[in-house]
Amino acid sequence: MTLTAVAIDDEPQALEVIKLHAAKVAFLDLKACFTDAFEAIAWLQTNRVDLLFLDIKMPDISGMEVVKCLPKVPMVVFTTAYSDFAVQGFELDAVDYLLKPFSLVRFLKACTKALDMHTLRSDKEQAYLFVKTGYETEKVLLDDILYIEAEGNYLIYVLKNRKLLSRQTMADLTQLLPSDQFIRIHRSFCIALDKIEKMARQELTVAGQPIPIGASYEDALITIRARLIDK
């Protein structure tokens, strides 16, 4: 399997590093590089790729804002020299966050994570997760998941007919779940899009359960409406 990719960075030298690294990753096909974010946005309006290497701090528009401008967001690996942006990056469910200067090994690790996620999303026969519960590991069909709630260092999988408790982080889980089927709406909640019953300004209802929308996840409502109502 091959991942197609685009890199956006206002520094030409940074793009050269990505080009050199990408050339050594057998499963990565770097289609284009842009120093102008607006040119990249225009290109992405008519060209689809699997992965986006995106600098966060750029003139006129930030990497975070670029993501919000795209009609269909590919997987994103943020690249930046500023570690302060890491939390914001992961709130947007980025695949990874590369702090400049990054090595080939670190770059390859990010690409491998993206490939794993892409494989899960693409393989229709693999519409399930293996969830570790105590000393056992259970196969969970994605269609059975209503929502997932974080509680301390654990996740509660709320399924159609039962619940599972797993020692896992929400950040790790959201990297595995298909973004066209699940969306994170709160630090503690990730929901199945097709299980939404009601929508309000500050909460959604899934299987009769009101679930709050976090203040930093209000853009999720825009995404949900675009996918479920306006399509």
Q: How are the residues of the chain apportioned to helix, strand and coil, as percentages rounded to the nearest 5?
A: 35, 35, 30
Per-residue pLDDT at 139: 86
Buried b (16+ CB within 10 A) or exposed e, 10-20: beeebbebbee
Nearest CA to 7 out of 177, 20, 92, 85 is that of 20
Q: Where in the chain is the domain with CATH 2.40.50.1020?
A: 127-228
Per-residue pLDDT at 33: 97
- Beta carbons of 60 and 37 less than 8 angstroms apart: yes
Per-residue pLDDT at 19: 97
Query: What CATH homologous superfamily does 127-228 map to?
Result: LytTr DNA-binding domain (2.40.50.1020)
- List, for the chain, all residue ranges whose pLDDT scores fall below the cut of 50: 86-87, 89-90, 124-125, 230-231
Q: Where in the chain is the domain with CATH 3.40.50.2300?
A: 3-122
Per-residue pLDDT at 103: 96
Rounded to whole angstroms, the Cα distance separating 173 from 188 reads 12
Selected from 3.90.1200.10, 3.40.80.10, 3.40.50.2300, 3.40.1440.10, the CATH number assigned to the domain covering 3-122 reads 3.40.50.2300
Report the predicted TM-score, pTM, of the whole model to 2 decimal places: 0.55
Rounded to whole angstroms, the Cα distance separating 79 from 97 reads 6
Rounded to whole angstroms, the Cα distance separating 117 from 164 reads 22
Rounded to whole angstroms, the Cα distance separating 61 from 163 reads 43
Q: At what angle do helices 104-122 and 12-22 cross, to 10 degrees?
A: 70
- Beta carbons of 190 and 174 less than 8 angstroms apart: yes
> For residue 118, what are its two tokens?
């892409």
Per-residue pLDDT at 126: 52
For the CA atoms of 119, 121, 126, 131, what is the dihedral angle to 10 degrees?
A: 100
Rounded to whole angstroms, the Cα distance separating 66 from 112 reads 23
Who's near 216: CB < 8 A, 6+ residues apart? 91, 187
Nearest CA to 158 out of 150, 149, 166 is that of 149
Element (H, E) at 179: none
Per-residue pLDDT at 86: 47
> For residue 77, what are its two tokens?
């690996």
> For residue 157, what are its two tokens?
């999988």
